[in-house]
Amino acid sequence: MTIAVNACFLPGSFPDSGGHFIITGFTSLAAQFTQHQFIFISDKALAFTFPSSKNCTSIVVGPEVKTPLGLRYWLNYKVPAVLLQHKADVFVTTAVGILRTKIPQCLLMNDLAFLQAQNGPKKNWNRFLKNNTGKFLQKAGSVAVSTGILKQQLISRYAVKDEAIVLVYKNAHPLFEPLEWQQKEAVKEQFAAGKEYFLYSGNISTSQNLINLLKAFSFFKKRQKSNMQLILAGTGNCEEAFSKSLSLYKYKTDIQLLEQITMETLTALTAAAYAVVDPGMDECFSTGAVEAMQAGIPFIGSNTGSLLEICGEAAMYFNPTDFNDIADKMMLVFKDEDKRNELIAKGMEQAKTFSRQHSATHLWQAVLHAIK
């Protein structure tokens, strides 16, 4: 069997949760199923490479995708020729599919965030997804989703059949692991002037509810009289609107803003944090939660979305719309060492649920289901 994978959306240097999931998942599958061929199709050269083995082939097919119209052209007129040339049995793609092909497709869905998005730099892409997601879902032979919440949304909103949806939990990168005390001190010295810190990682923008995080941190600082720092670590650039808010922030000297960090930096920051805090209200799978638990760090997150499904009793939850509640949970994990240690122990055990092999096994089930 020949499995073709859409690698168009994989970033050049810092694979996000979706990109990392594709890379590690299909790397594992290619190594396990050497009798099958795996073809990775991209519109541009990537900064990383897939396994150089006999059953893996990377193909670059231009032109490079930069707009929704360009993506539609690339998928419907450039990729099908490659699929036919290599006699692909199934095409695995993220969020968007091919409408002009009879080859079975497995659609990987991470969230429906585009439904709530209004304006912003991705408004054209959001409009494209709003207009076409239903078509992609109906065309797909199977749909792999990362949370049970998303599964129910697809069933109710798009009438996707229950039997067509496969639940595939993502896994954290293996680089996320506990650090020794000396290593933690070195990280704190480098990024937080030797002080303890709370960590947020992800998009640095107002849409991630970071204003409420700043308010909660202010409340924490006033109550605790602590030299605790807050590190905001972004894989991209900071949104201009949030940057302006931060410039007026009372405790800005206690906040470290890091932009365009590498995977190595993120793993170090995570494993040396006092706790990881995510105020976001997204319903997509939180890889950051699994990363924190795997690294032996307490995770504090929203009581909305899918976090309860992912973390269970291994995390602390707050109402993301109430900055006082966010602050209360930050203070609790700061003051109660026994509770913090309990969260660490439960988190490391919970993280085992999201192993690389577990994710790859269910991903393979989704692939096979597409061609039934």
Domains of the chain as residue ranges with CATH: 2-171+355-370 (3.40.50.2000), 181-353 (3.40.50.2000)
pLDDT digits (tens, 9 = 90+) for 107-142: 999 888 888 765 555 788 889 999 999 999 999 999
pLDDT band (50, 70, 90) for residue 228: very high
Give me the pLDDT at residue 346, please. Answer: 98
Nearest partner of 228 among 197, 200, 259, judged by Cα: 197
In the block, tokens 């229950």 appear at 162
Q: Which is higher by pLDDT, 240 or 292? A: 292
Mean pLDDT to the nearest integer, 103-107: 97
Rounded to the nearest 10 degrees, the angle between the axes of helix 287-294 and helix 17-32 is: 70
Give me the pLDDT at residue 17, please. Answer: 47
Give me the pLDDT at residue 83, please. Answer: 97
Mean pLDDT to the nearest integer, 216-235: 94
- Average pLDDT of the chain is 90
Give me the pLDDT at residue 331, please. Answer: 97
pLDDT > 70 fraction of the chain, expressed in percent and rounded: 94
List the single range of 41-45, 142-146, 293-297, 334-338 with lowest mean pLDDT. Answer: 41-45
Both structure tokens of 371: 């061609």
Mean pLDDT to the nearest integer, 273-293: 89
Would the pLDDT of 358 be above 60? yes
Q: Are 43 and 63 in contact (CB under 8 A)?
A: yes
In the block, tokens 């393979």 appear at 364
Give me the pLDDT at residue 11, please. Answer: 54
Give me the pLDDT at residue 13, please. Answer: 39
Q: Cβ–Cβ contacts within 10 Å for residue 338, how many?
A: 7
Top mean-pLDDT range of 175-184, 255-264, 353-362 = 175-184
**pTM attached to this predicted model:** 0.86
- Report, in angstroms and rounded to the nearest whole number, the Rg of the chain calculated over CA atoms: 21
Mean pLDDT to the nearest integer, 6-27: 68
Mean pLDDT to the nearest integer, 155-159: 96
Give me the pLDDT at residue 345, please. Answer: 98
Q: Are 256 and 191 in contact (CB under 8 A)?
A: yes
Would the pLDDT of 179 be above 70? yes
Would the pLDDT of 16 be above 50? no
pLDDT digits (tens, 9 = 90+) for 60-90: 999 999 899 999 999 999 999 999 999 999 9
Give me the pLDDT at residue 246, please. Answer: 87
Q: Are 20 and 173 in contact (CB under 8 A)?
A: yes
- Residues counted in the chain: 372
Mean pLDDT to the nearest integer, 239-253: 87
Give me the pLDDT at residue 10, please. Answer: 66
Mean pLDDT to the nearest integer, 242-265: 89
Cis status of the peptide bond prior to 15, with omega within 30 of 0:
no
Which of left, alpha, beta for 317 (phi over 0: left; psi -120 to 50: alpha)?
beta
pLDDT band (50, 70, 90) for residue 50: low
- CA dist list (Å): 182 to 23, 179, 226, 232, 358: 32, 8, 22, 23, 32
Mean pLDDT to the nearest integer, 308-330: 95
Mean pLDDT to the nearest integer, 47-64: 82
Give me the pLDDT at residue 118, please. Answer: 59
pLDDT > 90 fraction of the chain, expressed in percent and rounded: 68
Q: Which is higher by pLDDT, 24 or 290? A: 290
